[in-house]
Chains A and B, each alone.
Chain A
Amino acid sequence: MRRVRAEILNTRRLGVYHSLTLVAPEVAERVRPGQFLSIGMPPDRAFLLRRHFSIHQASRRGGWAGTLEFVFDPRGPGTAWLAELKAHQFLDVIGPLGKAFAYPTKLTNCLLVSEGHGSATIYFLAQELRSRGKRVDMIIGADTHERVFKPIDGKRLSQSVAIMTADGSLGERGSVLDALPHMVEATRAQVIYAAARRATLRAVAEFCMERQIPSQMAVEEHMACGVGMCFTCTVPVIRKDGSGYDNLRACTEGPVFNPARILWDRWMGDEPKMLPTPPEGFPVIRTWPG
């Protein structure tokens, strides 16, 4: 990880979302899909904490070499401030952070599932998978058409794409989950990647476990520091030997996890209590990527 003062090269609205492109060659040359950036807020403001964004693009060659792009939904004070910034201003950036998506070595057919601006990180992954000769298909969705992130890019990056909106304003009516069984059949998916809201991830995870399809997911959890110091962003993950679970930091051991090893009940439960390790232990998960 590096900490740099990065110049804003470009700022633009993308429908309801906002995108910032930064000049940060030290970060851009190292970054892989699934990793994220930590952006410092202005020191004199009432909102203290750094904001964290997954990376949408990293250009290593050509006229945009050394640049990074991230996408956000300007809803809170931090993201609203970011959306107001102009080109040539500077940001305090730490990155790249977190574990990236792993690429399959032998399997070839990859189905990528994303909701909202989760597609930003998924499109970056799609490029990398394609450059490794993998087949990429996608299911992208959101509640409404304006929240579907760059659907044309989704089409361009995949062999086939299913677009789903809750109100039917773009593509089919329904959620990305509704398209999952058909798309898995049609594309003969061997690996599933996902970035979506938590309930959707859980449903995709259950689908993958039932069908024994290896998968990887980028999760979102509240982060404070983003660099592993505060233990705010933990996710309960079953140990490899099944002897119990550990609360792992999404910023350091994640944000990409094997969903078969996430203790979804505990992570999504509203009950603020510990779940004991069952006497027989947890199942040992052997599906790729282990």
Chain B
Amino acid sequence: MKPTLDVDLDGLRLARPVLAASGCLGTGRDVPPLVDVRRLGGVVSRSLTLGSSKGAPTPRATETASGLLSAIGLQNPGVREFVAEDLPRLVGAGVPVIGSVAGASAEEYLRVASILHEQPGVVALEVYLSCPDEERDGEPFYARPERIAEIVGSVSRLSRLPVFVKLPPLLPDLVATARVCVRAGAHGLTLIDAVPGLAVDADRLRPRLAAPFGGLSGPAIKPVALGAVYRVSRSMPEVPIMGVGGVATSEDAVEFLLAGAWAVQIGTALLVNPSAAIEIVEGLLGYLEEKGIASPRDLRGRLRVARDGSAVKP
């Protein structure tokens, strides 16, 4: 029996459980020919703001041990130009697009979503909550449950598309925050966003990034991401989760599925190896074949834990 790779994220059907994470394929208009987007389950767009955004000053990224610390500062052409210039290329390539919604205010999130959700080819929205909140002096939106509920609620009420919420792992209570999202109307969750961090240049007595904080991504954060996926999926097994954070090989993807993810997104690995996502798709198929498993769905949450791990907070 040949395994199939298609997955159903509670109504969102994808041909493969492997997507490109937000911000890792440029804006979409000039995806390098090395990346065959047609063979991906989907592409999450760059996080989009209402107007164009110039992003952060350089240096914007630095390599750390098994990781990448970056602060691009949401450089993007703005949602309208994205819809005019970038989206048609992605849709033309035949890949489902998940629009990543960003903003500096609750109103901006809503306006970006209202433009994105009616575009043909956009199959879902992903709300990116790590933007600085202009009403709260730059505090990220994810820091307050009531802000999360307000934004996720308004976007979810507006859109007929499934709405995923991307959360960072460093929250006082990740599971409680995930519940806030779902209660506000989120269809699913994307776990995890990059881990906030700092890199220091001791020689020059300075931070390595101009921002100066950045988000850590890559293999360094994989255990953090797996832990987050596991905890949330054990608490809410019916809520679709896209696992993201250090997925670089098909073994990593299998680990995320076992921990409870319904699909995985590939980020930093794509920057290092443009064919990473394709290799992961093929590797996953090989794994299912070898183990005699019919579908990635049959791996989901199958991690064997001696005790009920959900009661143990790491």
User: Is A232 at the interface (CB under 8 A from chain B)?
Assistant: yes
- Quick check: A48 and B66 within 8 Å, CB to CB? yes
Residue on A nearest B60 in the bound complex, by CB? A232
Interface residues of A in 186-236 (CB under 8 A from B): 221-222, 224-225, 227-236
Q: Give Cα distance in the complex from A28 to B23, angstroms.
A: 31
- Quick check: B67 and A48 within 8 Å, CB to CB? yes
Contacts from B to A (Cβ < 8 Å): 23-26, 30-35, 54-63, 65-68, 70, 72, 75, 210-212, 218-219, 248, 268, 270-275
- Quick check: A48 and B25 within 8 Å, CB to CB? no
Residue on B nearest A234 in the bound complex, by CB? B58
The B interface is mostly helix, strand or loop, or mixed, namely: loop
The contact string, 1 if C-beta is below 8 Å from chain B, for chain A 174-189, is: 0000000000000000
- Quick check: B272 and A48 within 8 Å, CB to CB? yes
Q: Give Cα distance in the complex from A255 to B91, angstroms.
A: 30
- Quick check: B32 and A232 within 8 Å, CB to CB? no
Most buried by B among A92, A221, A234, A270: A234
Q: Give Cα distance in the complex from A225 to B272, angstroms.
A: 6
Q: Give Cα distance in the complex from A224 to B272, angstroms.
A: 8
Q: Give Cα distance in the complex from A232 to B56, angstroms.
A: 9
Most buried by B among A40, A231, A245, A271: A231
User: Is A272 at the interface (CB under 8 A from chain B)?
Assistant: yes
Decide: A49 near B57, CB < 8 A? Known: A3-B34, A229-B32, A247-B75: no
User: Is A94 at the interface (CB under 8 A from chain B)?
Assistant: yes
- Quick check: A228 and B60 within 8 Å, CB to CB? no
Decide: A1 near B34, CB < 8 A? Known: A49-B68, A232-B72, A234-B58: yes
| A-B contact list, 17 entries, CB within 8 Å | A1-B33, A40-B273, A47-B63, A48-B218, A48-B219, A222-B59, A229-B24, A230-B61, A230-B70, A231-B23, A231-B75, A232-B60, A232-B70, A234-B58, A252-B30, A270-B210, A271-B57
User: Is A134 at the interface (CB under 8 A from chain B)?
Assistant: no
Residues of B within 8 A of A231 (CB): 23, 26, 55, 60, 72, 75
User: Is A152 at the interface (CB under 8 A from chain B)?
Assistant: no
- Quick check: A274 and B54 within 8 Å, CB to CB? yes
- Quick check: B61 and A224 within 8 Å, CB to CB? yes
Residues of B within 8 A of A232 (CB): 58, 60-61, 70, 72
User: Is A246 at the interface (CB under 8 A from chain B)?
Assistant: yes
Most buried by A among B30, B58, B218, B248: B58
The A interface is mostly helix, strand or loop, or mixed, namely: loop
Pick the contact of A230: B54, B210, B271 (CB < 8 A): B271
Question: How many chain A residues have a CB neighbour from B under 8 Å?
Answer: 38
Q: Give Cα distance in the complex from A125 to B64, angstroms.
A: 34
Residue on B nearest A230 in the bound complex, by CB? B271
Residues of A within 8 A of B67 (CB): 48
Pick the contact of A224: B33, B35, B68, B273 (CB < 8 A): B68
Residues of B within 8 A of A234 (CB): 55, 58, 60, 75
- Quick check: A229 and B26 within 8 Å, CB to CB? yes
User: Is A155 at the interface (CB under 8 A from chain B)?
Assistant: no
Q: Give Cα distance in the complex from A287 to B144, angstroms.
A: 52
The contact string, 1 if C-beta is below 8 Å from chain B, for chain A 264-288, is: 0011011111100000000000000
- Quick check: A269 and B63 within 8 Å, CB to CB? no
**Interchain nearest-CB distance for A4 vs B (Å):** 11
Q: Give Cα distance in the complex from A271 to B70, angstroms.
A: 17
Residues of A within 8 A of B63 (CB): 47-49
- Quick check: A229 and B25 within 8 Å, CB to CB? yes
Q: Give Cα distance in the complex from A247 to B54, angstroms.
A: 6
- Quick check: A230 and B24 within 8 Å, CB to CB? yes
Residues of B within 8 A of A246 (CB): 54
Q: Give Cα distance in the complex from A146 to B268, angstroms.
A: 37
**Interchain nearest-CB distance for A243 vs B (Å):** 13
Residues of A within 8 A of B31 (CB): 229
- Quick check: A230 and B274 within 8 Å, CB to CB? no
- Quick check: A266 and B70 within 8 Å, CB to CB? no
Q: Give Cα distance in the complex from A225 to B56, angstroms.
A: 17
Decide: A267 near B24, CB < 8 A? Known: A47-B63, A49-B63, A247-B75: no
Residues of A within 8 A of B56 (CB): 272
